[in-house]
Structure 1
Amino acid sequence: MVIELLKFKISAEMQKTYVQKDAEIWTTALAQYPGFLGKEVWLNPHDSTEIIFVIRWATKEHWQAIPFAELEAVEQNFAAALGDTYKLVESAEYQVQTEFSSFVKL
């Protein structure tokens, strides 16, 4: 499994709307693709302007197979719904380690 982590900044007043529109637009679009396993929304209790999305993919190949033009179209739809109210501040990729015996001796 591969994790796509996205961190956004948005005004505290827009947070609820942002999360709702993300579910309607982005999550709905991503759920149509093979390999999409789910998405979590993390809200920082100490910074109401920070939202983190943790998106789970079966493999990196599934994630990377989404055509760029389709991602652009979804982003344009999302931006039209929210305007210039958010900023991507971090994007990262993680792999889920399921076997720890080679790393940790118990």
Structure 2
Amino acid sequence: MTRAGMIWVAVSVGLVLLVLLIIFILQNQDRVTVQYLGVAGELSLGMALFIAAVAGGLLVTIAGAVRILQLRIQRRRPAGRLPASAGPAATGGHEPTSGP
């Protein structure tokens, strides 16, 4: 499959998911009271669930981005070099001595 074909399939699947999401929100129009950190508000059940799903997705995205950055930093660091914060514990606890 060509790159253009893959993009077309991805856009089509995305549009189908958006239509299903719109149907879900329209079918769940009951008003609910939502409380968060002492702030209360009223909105439709479908919208409240949608906001919760987006917030969860953002948290997962942030955690994934942090992990990717950690792995990139680790990959760029030379293999034989110890980090700057490495002390005697990182070298096995043995420091060279100059006497008996």
Q: TM-score range by the shorter chain?
A: under 0.3
Q: Greater strand share, 1 or 2?
A: 1
Q: If the length of structure 1 is used for normalisation, what is the TM-score?
A: 0.24
Q: Greater helix share, 1 or 2?
A: 2
CA radius of gyration, larger in: 2
